[in-house]
Homo-oligomer: A and B are copies of this chain.
Amino acid sequence: MPARRLDGVAVARVIQSELRPAVEAFTARAGRPPGLALVLVGDNPASELYVASKLKSAGETGLRADIERLPASATLAELLRVVDRLNRSDAHDGILVQSPLPEAMGPGADRAVFDAVSPEKDVDGLHPVNVGRLVQGRAALVACTPSGVIELLDRSGIPIAGSRAVVVGRSDIVGKPMALLLVLRHATLTICHSRTKDLASVTREADILVAALGRPAFLTTEFVKPGATVIDVGTTKVEDRAMVERLFAPGSKRHAAFERRGSLVLGDVHPSVEQVAGALTPVPGGVGPLTIAMLLKNTLTAAQLRAGR
């Protein structure tokens, strides 16, 4: 029996529909909608797509969203000046600087920019104060992808407390905050990474397995306990025909999509896991839409906090 499909698009739609009246109430009270500033540096096509879809969802939910564009040649100092202006803007409650930044900005640029965003407008949950408050179980603004995963589990009736949860990947944006949220929700939590020995034996302990490695189709059936819930956070654009043909039979929907576009976005989870897992998020259409929904929710929360609720 194939795994139950956890539909991120549907859950994100429900969250957005719940946000709408709260956004309306805020707007009526404050005389302005909650405001989100999206900062986009350069012309990375994937970033353009992400930002466009955030803009669209914000509009549907009644939020104000503005794009601040900087050319790929912008310096870190110029970007920090934009962040500083947005920190002081009354119209903007949330600031999201789309990563990755152009490499020319230098290796520490991402971190310098995330640190510069005012903690109260940090809708990405990446400022150290917000991360520290997450550890201490009292965060107002939490990284969007991990908090989206928790929403998806809750709204799908998958119990977290008392479960064994395994997170593969320890990034600051997904792996570590995901692990912390699962601990706060009373899972027995294991975090794995590139240095983990015999990874499959560890991931097979999981009732809830979160894959956030960024290695397409890496987690095959032997990594998954039968019946486990598998959350696939990875998204890698694959243009390698041989790989796509190993994964998808000619004539299948995904194979046809590859033929049409010349590329395919793949998760970290191998397609065959569908035959073993109890529940599974698709890529695309799983975690991605939830990340956007939580960004909107964080923007509303930031607006409410700034207005003193």
A residues near B (Cβ < 8 Å) are 111, 127-136, 161-162, 164, 170, 172, 176, 179-180, 183, 186, 188-193, 195-197, 202
Contact = CB atoms under 8 A, between A and B. Distances in A.
Contacts of A164: 197, 202
B202 A188 contact: yes
Contact of A135 (B135, B186, B192, B197): B135
Contacts of A202: 164, 188
A197 B128 contact: no
A179 B195 CA distance: 16
Contact of A191 (B134, B161, B188, B196): B188
Most buried by B among A111, A131, A161: A131
A244 B180 CA distance: 37
A158 to B, nearest CB: 16
Given A135-B176, A162-B195, 19 more contacts: A111-B136, A128-B133, A129-B129, A129-B132, A130-B132, A131-B131, A131-B132, A132-B132, A132-B133, A136-B172, A161-B195, A162-B196, A164-B197, A176-B180, A188-B191, A188-B192, A188-B197, A188-B202, A189-B190
Contacts of A179: 183
A127 B132 contact: yes
A189 B191 CA distance: 5
8 contacts: A132-B133, A132-B135, A135-B135, A135-B172, A162-B197, A164-B202, A176-B183, A188-B197
Nearest to A130: B132
Nearest to A139: B128
A186 B194 CA distance: 8
Contacts of A162: 195-197
